[in-house]
Structure 1
């Protein structure tokens, strides 16, 4: 089974990739369209040159690989994708027939977390609009990071049930310091999950945002709420 995980940045997407990567029957891939996205947009991201050198920049080539055989002879393949990487004109036919999972997080938390790693993002950088479009097209379970952190066992059992997979407690923890499938950008973005070894405890109150960061979170909130309305209860 190919499982396509759709997320914006700072949405527990790496933790979910690690959870599936802890299954002995599952291969994982980390943001295979990232270099193609940077090449097409010209955006200056941390470690841009290293990312461009580490992956194919032709989206058609990436799409063929994502539709290809499951790596390492595994039974399943979890592909972690950032919604904002799927630019207009990038192929999406590779995702037809796959199982789809959508990870969401309250935009106030996303903006606060993202801004600590990169300067003021745009609404497009956060991926909410594209995520809604992708869910309209493909459907699939929607999981809020708050629900995952409040009860990882229950959330992952429910997800596996929705996907038709057996649940294994191996998904609840992983080795510290990363996964062999990490993208080269892991050293910039993944420090917290590398140190964790498992899903973190529930988060506290929403952080305080001011100025442009507050405006950005407010712009994303209605889209998040629409997606949250599709999440399992």
Structure 2
């Protein structure tokens, strides 16, 4: 597969309930960029056991391309703007050849798992590791390193404590100029939102920029403590590589 010429591709590989949607909104403010929201979602639902408990799954499977290989070809052939930002979930990468990642910059976005699981469980009450992507994200980082494919790691807490500084570092690492327009957007949805936005994007739709970091004070569900103990050592390994 070959990419269209003179186009820079940014592949975001995030866990759920992170700042991935805010990053997509941020990049959508650039005049030189086009963004796309989770193009591999239907592929993931069609090849996993997740569709019965993902809100809106039937609509996603109906309206989106289910063949992940065709989605990859689309991401590599899409043009129109000099910068393309593809927001993806890491756990959507099942049953795919990952070699296409060498044709763009890969951005791994992670979040402290206690806060992530607390947020995620409000929509999907009993997640498993395959739902949240930490193990897959570490596997992906090792794959990118081994194959010498370009990548960078962002950590959500660190990012929200200094959004402009982190965006400037990210842009520099990706070989693009920082655009001040990336710091703010209008409240409400954007046309690029996936069909699942009504279930997941309420807080982003109320925002006009990156929200200040705040510690979660809610009690943590006991039934998720086993999964939390699996996620935390992986998260700490990912943290080591963060900007």
TM-score bucket (shorter structure):
over 0.9
Structure-to-structure mapping, 1:178-189, within 5 angstroms:
178-189=189-200
Please say if residues 118 and 221 of structure 2, whose CA atoms lie closer than 8 Å, have aligned partners that are also in contact. no
Instruction: Using structure 1 for the length normalisation, give the TM-score.
Output: 0.94
- Paired positions, count: 229
SS at match of 1:67: helix
What displacement does 1:93 show? Answer: 2.7
Separation in 1 of the partners of 2:63 and 2:99?
A: 24
Farther off after superposition, 106-115 or 37-46: 37-46
1:130-150 deviations in Å (ceiling 9; x for gaps): 111111222521111111111
Note closer, same or farther for the CA distance 1:206–1:145 as it changes in structure 2 (3 Å cut).
farther
Question: Which position in structure 2 is the counterpart of 1:51?
Answer: 60
Question: Which position in structure 1 is the counterpart of 2:102?
Answer: 96
Question: Which position in structure 2 is the counterpart of 1:113?
Answer: 119
Across the aligned residues of Structure 1 and Structure 2, the Cα RMSD in angstroms comes to: 1.3
Instruction: Using structure 2 for the length normalisation, give the TM-score.
Output: 0.91
Note closer, same or farther for the CA distance 1:124–1:42 as it changes in structure 2 (3 Å cut).
closer
Segments of structure 2 that go 5 or more residues without pairing to the other structure are: 1-7, 146-150
Farther off after superposition, 173-182 or 210-219: 210-219
Question: Which position in structure 2 is the counterpart of 1:32?
Answer: 39
Please say if residues 111 and 235 of structure 2, whose CA atoms lie closer than 8 Å, have aligned partners that are also in contact. yes
Please say if residues 99 and 163 of structure 1, whose CA atoms lie closer than 8 Å, have aligned partners that are also in contact. yes
Segments of structure 1 that go 5 or more residues without pairing to the other structure are: none
Question: Which position in structure 1 is the counterpart of 2:4?
Answer: none
1:56-90 deviations in Å (ceiling 9; x for gaps): 101111111011132xx211000011000111x21
Please say if residues 22 and 170 of structure 1, whose CA atoms lie closer than 8 Å, have aligned partners that are also in contact. yes
1:92-136 deviations in Å (ceiling 9; x for gaps): 233222111111100001100001112210011110011111112
